[in-house]
Amino acid sequence: MGKRLLSLVMICGLLFTATACGNYNIRDEDAPPLQNTEENPFAQSEESGSLGALSHGEVNPARDDAHNVLPYEYKGGEFTLDYQFVAEGKLNNIGFLLFLDGKPQAYKINDTGGEYE
């Protein structure tokens, strides 16, 4: 009894799906009007070329004989790393967020005696 009922429900569902997705055409006269799309504001932009460039990395990383960068050793306390960051062009509002193991870390810039950022 249960298999017959399930088969009947599936056949009815298949018939409904087949008829709902049948030949359904909309005449061009009945089609809704096209939406007004604004012109691309970037198409008439005066900017051309690059807005700037970013580069960053350790100043002189320690390397092994195969020229691979060696891992850093941490012996507790404050960790010092000579790091270089260069922003050229119109990229003047760039800042840093430093995360270790998913946790934000405080850092100092250019002065080991200064305040943490």
Give the model confidence (pLDDT) of 11-70 as tens digits: 988 888 877 766 667 777 777 777 766 777 677 666 666 778 888 888 888 899 999 999
Asked whether 51 and 90 are in contact (CB, 8 A), the reply is yes
Task: Say how far apart CA 61 and CA 83 lie, in whole Å.
Answer: 9
Asked whether 96 and 117 are in contact (CB, 8 A), the reply is yes
Residue 87: is it exposed, middle or buried by C-beta count within 10 angstroms (0-12/13-18/19+)? middle
- Please state the pTM of the whole predicted model: 0.43
pLDDT at residue number 10 = 92
